[in-house]
Amino acid sequence: MRVTSNRLASLNDTELDAVVIGGGMAGAGVARDLALRGASVALFEKGDFASGTSSKSSKLIHGGLRYLELADFKLVRESLREKKTLERLAPHLVRPLPFLVPVYRGAARGLIKVRLGMWLYDRLTPGKTTERYRVLTPAAALALVPGVQAKDLRGAGYYFDDLLLYPERLCL
């Protein structure tokens, strides 16, 4: 506690533009953004940085493909834009992550809907240079992921989102 008290005491005569409570992904991101805009900022965390929710993340950086079904194009575009920002700011931490979406006979989400959704998702992606999706035949899907259930398989969507290898490193 002495270290904390000394550090707090050292801020007594410091005029700050902002104080951010919480040194996880959101708090550290807000503090960084404010500092980059010229604000004087203090960031406080009760434990270790990124030790709470940020350390328990799925590490998935998704652009919101499922929100296309809700026609929330604004949210999808914003998510894809933020995903691109992370790729640009932390290329050493971001890796492509392939996804397979199997489509079975009688499913509510048929192959045409999956194809259209992935095509639209791809078109909404800013700064892309190549298509990052494909629609696979049942044989191609099974060759790619042999554990997929073959019975009634009509095909599959195959696309990429991203994986954030060590999200806690963005907080430091």
24 and 54 Cβ atoms separated by less than 8 Å: yes
Tens-digit pLDDT profile for residues 94-136: 999 999 999 999 999 999 999 999 999 998 988 877 777 999 9
pLDDT value of position 2: 46
Q: What is the pLDDT of residue 6?
A: 67
Residue 149's pLDDT band, with cuts at 50, 70 and 90, is: very high
Up-side HSE of residue 166: CA atoms within 13 Å toward CB? Answer: 10
Region 7-34: mean pLDDT is 85
Answer yes or no: is pLDDT of 84 > 80: yes
Per-domain residue ranges of the chain: 2-56, 60-171
- pTM for the complete prediction? 0.77
Q: What is the DSSP string of 11-62?
A: TTT---SEEEE--SHHHHHHHHHHHHTT--EEEE-SSSTT-SGGGG---EE-
pLDDT at residue 51, rounded to an integer: 84
- In degrees, rounded to 5, the angle at the alpha carbon of residue 159 between the alpha carbons of residues 158 and 162 is 140
What pLDDT is recorded for position 5? Answer: 62
Please state whether 138 falls in left (phi above 0), alpha (psi between -120 and 50) or beta: alpha
Q: Strand pairing partners for 97?
A: 161
